[in-house]
Structure formats: C-alpha cells, structure tokens
C-alpha cells in the first residue's frame, strides 16, 4: 500500500507513539495539582512548551495547547478579534483559507466585525498590492495561511508580515498546519505573530495541536472553565499530547524546504508533462507550491474516478481536500483559482510524508500511465 494523502493526515511515527504511551504511564497526574506527581507533570509540560518555543524561534513567546488545528485557528481569529476590538473591527483573510478560519470569520461578521477576503491568482497566491489596499486604520487581525491544504500554494509570509507592520498595528496570524515541517517558518521579526500547528499532519497524534505566539500578542479565551493555559484554554491539559506534539515538532522542524519532497514533486511534474501538452492534465500551482503537495486536474474526468482507480491499484490519494471531498462541489479553493471549467471536477491531490520512498514515486508513475492509457481508449466513446 502506498499512502499519498499526507495532507489529510499522516501515519503516526512509532517514536512519538512510544513517548505518548510512556508519558501516559508515568506522568498521568494533573499538571495543575499541587502534589509531587502533579508538579512533575507540570515540569514536563513546561519543558515541552519551552522546547517548542525555542524551535519556533520565540523563546519568550507563548504556546497554547489545543485539540487540533481547527480549535487553534478559531482561538486565533475569534480570540484576537475580541481582544483587539477596542482598536478596530476590521479583519483580513484570503478566499482559500481552511474552513476553520473562514467559518470563524463569518461568525465574526455576524457579530458586527467587517472582513475582507483577498482573492488569489491562478497559482493560489494573494497579491501584496491587494493586501496593501485592504489594510485600514481599524484593521486588527490579518490571518493568511502559509500553505494551502488543497493545492499547496505558498503565500509570501515575509512580504505579508512586512506590509502589515508597515501599514498597521494588526496582528498577523498564519495557519501553518500544512507548511510546518516542509517549509521553514519562524515566529521571528520577519515571520507571523502567531501560528497554528497540528500534530497529526507531522506524524503525531490526532486531536492535538497548538497556537504559538510571540510575546505580547494575547487573544481572549473562547472557552471557559478552570483557567488552564493562562486562562486561554480551559480544560485539563493533556500532558501526553503536549509532550508528543513537542516531539513531533522537534523531529520534523526544517531550516529549509524538504528537498526530498521537492525532488519527488519535480519528478512527477516532469512525468505528467506529456499529458499536460495534450491538454489531458492541468498541474495546479506548478511553481508556487509547497514541496509536499502536487495537485493535478484531469480533463473531463471526475477526481473521484481517479481516486477509485488508484485505490484499486493500492495507492491512496484524494480529491482536493478530505474536509470537502464528500460534498461533491469543486470546493471554494478550486473555485477561487479560476481554472478552466473542464478541469474543475477532475482534481486529485498527491501529498508526501516521511514514510514515502523513491520507489513509490516510480510505482505511481506506472499506474498513472496505465490510467491515462485507459482514458485514451475511453476517449473514442466520448462525444465532444
């Protein structure tokens, strides 16, 4: 079995699972308790936090552990809007954000906030001019993802950060769920003020994520209870999850883009070129994308058909995004790209992870070729 759906989720790394089990066995106490067991658990929790902040380049910053990327994104957008509403009520995001950002923005709109949704070009990238034009005096939050989950488009984080700083006092949040571990991202002067990371996208556990922020950028809480995590995320903190996430982050952090993934991606682009020239396949965001995601679209074929074919041959991949793949529409990201109608429903996404190999790429090429051959035969029956 070849698993090429790492953007949906990844296979758990054994070393991380071992840590998870060990911590559950040995440090099961509540880190908020005053007894020795609790203090040990707390020390381990704080050590995890410090390790993460040090890797993210913000040793003075803050990490809030959450149930995953969605909760962290909600906390960032809604929590920041509430915290900063005395300064203004305008937010900026892009049209191709994850639903956990878009739905949160819509919620805020219903609450009386104003939101601008920046368009993207055919490569899925926003323009800095559009951003500049959208920034207002009362802009308080800009949330723009680092890497798009459906097509891998990479946003120019440094330029965005610079523009925001130059024009406003807005806080810059970036959803780095897809990018972390594949592209470098830091909470430094050139980076965002706040990022979201999810454990299960980097060979960690499902149900675990975090919101990391620079010093001094504190959102309001959006859930209420015992005041854990500095009051920002009530609920007993899962030390095993926090430790496992710290370990996933350590094992996956990169100082430059993943060269192995980039090489695989380039090889595949080169391979599909023969079909691209015959207009049978369109490569989405060929130059601008993250090394680990290759999204292609077949002409006049439903993505689902391709997914089923590959499934049959032992290769797991997906239509553009697991979150939207059941709904049957092309989805908001594909729509936002403005690609030709004939490709819109034929999108599939191949996404790499640590468990993939050169051999699997070769295997994939063979199966893709046989699929195209099959289509070629089928084309005679089609009436254009």
Partner 1 sequence: MFVRKLRNNIQSALHDLRSIKLTSDRDRMFLTANDQDEMEIAIKRLSHVFGIQSFSPVAKCEATLEAIKETAIHVIGSDETADKTFKVEIKRIDKSFPYVTGELQQEIGAHVLRNFPELGVKMKKPDILLHVEIRQDGAYLTSKVYQGAGGMPIGSNGHSLLMLSGGIDSPVAGYLMMKRGVSLDAIHFASPPFTSEMAKKKVMDLATQLSSFGASVKLHIIPFTEIQQMIVHQVPDNLSMTTTRRVMLQIADQVRQEAEALAIVTGESLGQVASQTLDSLTAINAVTSTPILRPLIAADKLEIIDLAQKIGTYDISIQPYEDCCTIFTPANPKTKPKLQKVEYYESFSDFEPMIEKAVQERTVIELPIQETDEFESLL
Residue 240 CB, nearest distance to partner 1 (Å)? 9
- Kindly list the residues in this chain that would bind partner 1 in the complex (CB under 8 A): 19, 22-23, 34-36, 39, 43-44, 47-48, 51, 57-60, 188-189, 243, 246-247, 250
Nearer to partner 1, 22 or 109 (CB): 22
The Cβ-side half-sphere exposure at 230, using a 13 Å CA radius, reads: 12
* Nearest-approach distance from CB 167 to partner 1, in angstroms: 17
Closer Cβ to partner 1, 51 or 85, answer by number: 51
Name residue 296's beta-bridge partners.
Answer: 283, 348
Report, in Å, the least distance between residue 187 CB and partner 1: 9
Can you tell me whether residue 174 is helix, strand or coil?
Answer: strand
Would residue 323 show up in a list of annotated catalytic residues for this protein? yes
HEC letters along 103-150? HHHHHHHHCCCEEEEECCCCCCCCCHHHHHHHCCCCEEEEECCCECCC
Instruction: Look up residue 79 and give its two tokens.
Output: 């929590």
Cβ closest to partner 1, residue 181 vs residue 331:
181
Residue 28 CB, nearest approach to partner 1 (Å): 13
Helical H segments across 156-238, by residue range: 157-167
Residue 22 CB, nearest distance to partner 1 (Å)? 6
Helix (H, G, I), strand (E, B) or coil at 168: coil
Closer to partner 1 by CB, 126 or 210: give it: 210
- The answer for residues whose C-beta is within 8 angstroms of residue 355's C-beta and 6 or more apart is 3, 10, 11, 203
Which residues are 180's β-sheet partners?
A: 183
Cα 209 from chain centre: 11
Distance separating alpha carbons of residues 263 and 330, to the nearest angstrom? 28
Q: Supply the minimum distance, in Å, between the C-beta of residue 249 and partner 1.
A: 10
173: phi then psi, degrees, rounded to nearest 5: -105, 140
User: Per the residue annotation, which of 29, 218, 323, 367 is the catalytic one?
Assistant: 323
Name which of 35 and 169 has its Cβ closer to partner 1: 35
Contact 170, 139 (CB under 8 A): yes
Q: Cβ(284)–Cβ(124) under 8 Å? A: yes
If the CB atoms of residues 48 and 280 are measured against partner 1, the closer one turns out to be: 48
Residues with catalytic roles = 323
């Amino acid at each position: 079995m070849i698993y090429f759906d790492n953007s949906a989720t990844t296979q758990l790394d054994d070393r991380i699972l071992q840590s998870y089990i060990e911590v559950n066995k040995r440090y099961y106490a509540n880190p908020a308790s005053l007894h020795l067991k609790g203090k040990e658990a707390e020390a381990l929790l704080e050590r995890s936090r410090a390790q993460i902040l040090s890797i993210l380049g913000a040793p003075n910053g803050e990490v809030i552990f959450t149930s995953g990327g969605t909760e962290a994104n909600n906390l960032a957008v809604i929590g920041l809007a509430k915290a900063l509403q005395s300064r203004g009520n305008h937010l900026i995001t892009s049209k191709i954000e994850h639903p956990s950002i878009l739905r949160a923005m819509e919620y805020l709109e219903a609450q009386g906030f104003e939101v601008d949704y920046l368009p993207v070009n055919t490569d899925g990238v926003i323009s800095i001019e559009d951003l500049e034009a959208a920034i207002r005096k009362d802009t308080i939050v800009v949330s723009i993802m680092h890497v798009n989950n459906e097509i891998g488009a990479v946003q120019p984080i440094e330029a965005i950060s610079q523009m925001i700083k130059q024009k406003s006092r807005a806080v810059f949040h970036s959803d780095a769920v897809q990018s972390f571990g594949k592209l470098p991202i830091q909470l430094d002067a050139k980076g965002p003020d706040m990022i979201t990371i999810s454990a299960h996208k980097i060979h960690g556990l499902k149900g675990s994520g975090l919101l990391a922020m620079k010093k001094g950028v504190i959102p309001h809480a959006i859930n209420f209870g015992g005041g854990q995590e500095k009051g920002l995320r009530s609920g007993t903190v899962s030390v095993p999850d926090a430790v496992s996430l710290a370990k996933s982050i350590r094992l996956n952090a990169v100082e430059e883009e993943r060269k192995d993934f980039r090489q695989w991606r380039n090889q595949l682009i080169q391979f599909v070129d023969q079909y691209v020239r015959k207009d049978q396949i369109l490569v989405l965001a060929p130059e601008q994308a993250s090394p680990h995601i290759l999204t292609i679209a077949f002409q006049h074929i439903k993505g689902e058909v391709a997914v089923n074919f590959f499934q049959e041959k032992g290769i797991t991949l997906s239509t553009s995004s697991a979150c939207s793949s059941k709904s049957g529409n092309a989805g908001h990201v594909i729509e936002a790209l403005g690609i030709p109608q004939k490709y819109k429903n034929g999108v599939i996404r191949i996404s790499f992870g640590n468990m993939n190999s050169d051999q699997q790429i070769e295997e994939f090429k063979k199966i893709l070729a046989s699929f195209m051959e099959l289509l070629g035969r089928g084309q005679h029956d089609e009436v254009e």
